């Protein structure tokens, strides 16, 4: 999808319902006091703007190729609209700065110019942060329960089955590594080609892959080193423990309790489906309470309408800390 073109010194943006054209001639005045070649700087800025749009568009295409479901046009329009706003603010900040090399050193307002340059730097950083946050938000929208090749989230309805699949794959890898090492040890002659053939016949890989497996490492070890099998075993155990915890949560089901506090009636919800423990207040907590919530690891979720963190024993302990800080009365 072509979202912008830069031609004849003008950048044309087409993202959803957003259509805008920015000419280098119209913005070059922002750098009159910073560069001897403001027209060149204007073109560089427009090229940078186009590069950020293409970067975000490439990210959306990558999400779609993985099977992510999202409204690409709406995401592009939202990103481009805010990017344009932030970029114009940055250009305006740059327009208030000056370089003594351009305007001359006599009576140059150094202190005032430094403050203005600091503001321009902050505006520039906001543009980069916007790109990072937009990518992260688009990824969450495309894969609410995490990317297919990423960690298995407890909020994923298919989490138990996905964990079982990963455990099975790890167990298969473990057996494969053990069988390959056993095949290598079975060749008493020490002939490398015989070892490779034995590995290929045993685990069903190509001779090229088998040759790489029997190639000695920097310690002279052939096959899979002990740390590889140990690490894989440790990961199998971790996945099994996680599966057990997740299944226990789902069997137990969610809990909801209400507590009378100085902030009103606060509802504590163990949301098993979202894998979050949540605090629901009767209204927006004041600044002091919000600070306490953040200190204890809670973050506001507009979608859930609650302050939440991961559902685990640490989360339950954090809830007690917050309730204690709210001078909790008897529930």
Q: Three-class SS of residue 282?
A: coil
Mean pLDDT of 292-309: 93
User: Phi-psi region for residue 297, left (φ > 0), alpha (ψ -120 to 50) or beta?
Assistant: left
- Looking at residue 136, its pLDDT comes to 93
The pLDDT value given to residue 272: 85
Indicate whether 130 pLDDT > 70: yes
Q: What is the mean pLDDT of residues 182-201?
A: 94
Structure tokens at 159: 């989490």
- Evaluate if residue 318 carries a pLDDT over 50: yes
Residue 39 has pLDDT above 80, yes or no: yes
Q: How far apart are CA 239 and CA 241, in angstroms?
A: 5
Q: What angle do CA 31, 33, 36 make, to 5 degrees?
A: 75
Taking a C-beta distance cutoff of 8 angstroms, is the pair 158, 95 a contact? no
48-93, pLDDT tens digit by residue? 999 999 999 999 999 999 999 889 999 999 999 999 999 999 999 9
The reported pTM is 0.71
Contact 30, 12 (CB under 8 A): no
Q: Which residue has the tokens 């490439």?
A: 58
What digits encode the pLDDT tens for the residues 254-284? 788 999 888 889 999 998 888 899 999 998 9
Residue 250: the pLDDT is: 83
Identify which of 299, 233, 309 has the alpha carbon closest to the alpha carbon of residue 276: 309
Cα distance between residue 311 and residue 298, in whole Å? 11
Q: How confident is the model at residue 1, as a pLDDT?
A: 61
Beta strands in the chain (DSSP E): 4-7, 10-15, 18-23, 256-261, 264-271, 276-280, 299-301, 306-310
DSSP H/E element including 80: helix 72-95
Give the residue-averaged pLDDT of 169-186: 96
The mean per-residue pLDDT over the stretch 186-199 comes to 93
Non-local CB neighbours of 73 within 8 Å, separated by 6+ positions: 15, 16
Q: How many helices (H) and strands (E) does the chain have?
A: 11, 8
Distance CA 132, CA 109 (A): 35
């Amino acid at each position: 999808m072509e979202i912008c073109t830069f031609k004849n010194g003008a950048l044309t943006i087409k993202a959803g319902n957003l259509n805008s054209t920015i000419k280098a001639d119209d913005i070059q005045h922002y750098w009159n006091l910073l560069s001897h070649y403001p027209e060149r700087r204007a073109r560089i800025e427009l090229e940078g703007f186009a590069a950020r749009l293409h970067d975000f568009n490439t990210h959306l295409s990558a999400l779609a190729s993985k099977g992510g479901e999202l409204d690409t046009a709406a995401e592009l329009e939202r990103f481009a609209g805010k990017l344009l706003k932030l970029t114009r603010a940055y250009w305006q900040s740059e327009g208030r700065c000056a370089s003594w090399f351009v305007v001359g050193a006599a009576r140059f307002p150094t202190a005032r110019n430094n403050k203005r340059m600091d503001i321009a730097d902050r505006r520039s950083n906001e543009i980069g942060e916007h790109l990072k946050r937009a990518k992260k938000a688009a990824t969450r929208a495309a894969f609410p329960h995490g990317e297919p090749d990423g960690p298995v989230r407890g909020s994923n309805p298919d989490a138990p089955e996905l964990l079982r699949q990963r455990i099975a794959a790890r167990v298969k890898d473990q057996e494969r590594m053990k069988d390959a090492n056993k095949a290598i040890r079975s060749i008493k002659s020490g002939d490398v080609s015989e070892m490779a053939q034995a590995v290929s016949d045993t685990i069903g890989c190509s001779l090229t892959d088998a040759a790489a497996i029997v190639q000695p490492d920097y310690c002279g070890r052939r096959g899979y080193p002990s740390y590889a099998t140990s690490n894989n075993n440790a990961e199998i155990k971790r996945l099994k423990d996680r599966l057990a915890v997740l299944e226990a949560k789902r069997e137990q089901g969610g809990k909801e309790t209400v507590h009378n506090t100085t902030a009103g009636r606060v509802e504590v919800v163990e949301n098993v489906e979202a894998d979050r423990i949540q605090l629901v207040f009767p209204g927006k907590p004041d600044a002091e309470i919000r600070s306490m919530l953040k200190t204890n690891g809670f973050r506001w979720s507009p979608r859930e309408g609650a302050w939440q963190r991961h559902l685990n024993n640490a989360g339950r302990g954090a809830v007690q800390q917050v309730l204690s800080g709210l001078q909790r009365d008897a529930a």
